Amino acid sequence: MRPPGADERDSQTETDEEAARETLVYGRRVRRRRRFWRALPGAPRCKLCTAPLGGPVGTLLRLIGKGRWPGNPKYCRWCFKSLYTHRAGAEVECTLLFADIRGSTQLAETMQARDFRAAMERFYETAVSILTEHDAFVDKFVGDEVIGIFIPALTGNAHARQAVDAGLELLIATGHQTDAPWAPIGIGVNTGVAYVGAVGTEDHVEFTALGDAVNVAARLASVAAPGELLVAAATAQAADLDGAGAERRHLALKGKTGATDVLVLTA
């Protein structure tokens, strides 16, 4: 016997997921909002709904909570508000990028804590700038790691290519085209279906991605050597990379039953 109210909760969950999918894949509801907000003056605009983020209208909208989204300041909070409110999400195809500083423990031993913090903040700022410029949203900072998620609503069908381009640009920005990078990083990129949305408790909610595709990207970053961008075969195919001249590896990743094929790209 199903508990009282189970049918209502299931129905509400389906409704929330449908609304979340509309947001995450740039559905009809988003397109309707674009037509409304485009009529109001102001620049720059939210890249998703086109609401003004600047000018007098943008200032007024910020006062009522429609300011820039912390996940990516090129978008507005309201585009993702319902997902946070209902802790909702949906399964969508997306691309995940994990960038990890190699040898951070040893690096921390060689400097004072405040200097290590400054080095990490420089890495965070560099990564966030590049990821948001390529239309990712920054999931979180995890110690010495930055996670970027590329979803169809923000990148269209180009999320795999955007992630690869962002990874290569990040290698260059951290000095890997030289013999002395200031932040020795390894990057993993993978494309697949993940649950994307707001998860957590009533007191603490985060916008994130969950699932096997996320785990594979994290594993790739953990085995990438300094200066390497490991691109999963699924991402290479989605990004239309021919891989000519690139090294190929057949990796047995921790926790995975099968091997993972990757292309190895460098700056």
In angstroms, the CA 16 to CA 229 distance is: 36
Q: Determine which helix (DSSP H) or strand (DSSP E) holds 182, and give its type and residue range.
A: none
Please give, one letter per residue, the 3-state secondary structure of 113-133: HHHHHHHHHHHHHHHHHHHHH
- Establish how many alpha carbons lie within 13 A of residue 104's alpha carbon, considering only the half-sphere containing its beta carbon: 19
Give the Cβ contact number of residue 158 at 10 Å: 18
User: Distance from first CA to last CA of the chain, Å, rounded?
Assistant: 59
Which pLDDT value is given to residue 9? 44
DSSP code, position 78:
H
All structural domains of the chain = 6-86 (no CATH), 89-266 (3.30.70.1230)
The predicted model scores a pTM of 0.88
Q: What was the pLDDT predicted at 14?
A: 53
Tell me how far the alpha carbon of residue 235 is from its chain's centroid. Answer: 14
What pLDDT is recorded for position 31?
80
The residues of the chain scoring below 70 in pLDDT are 1-14
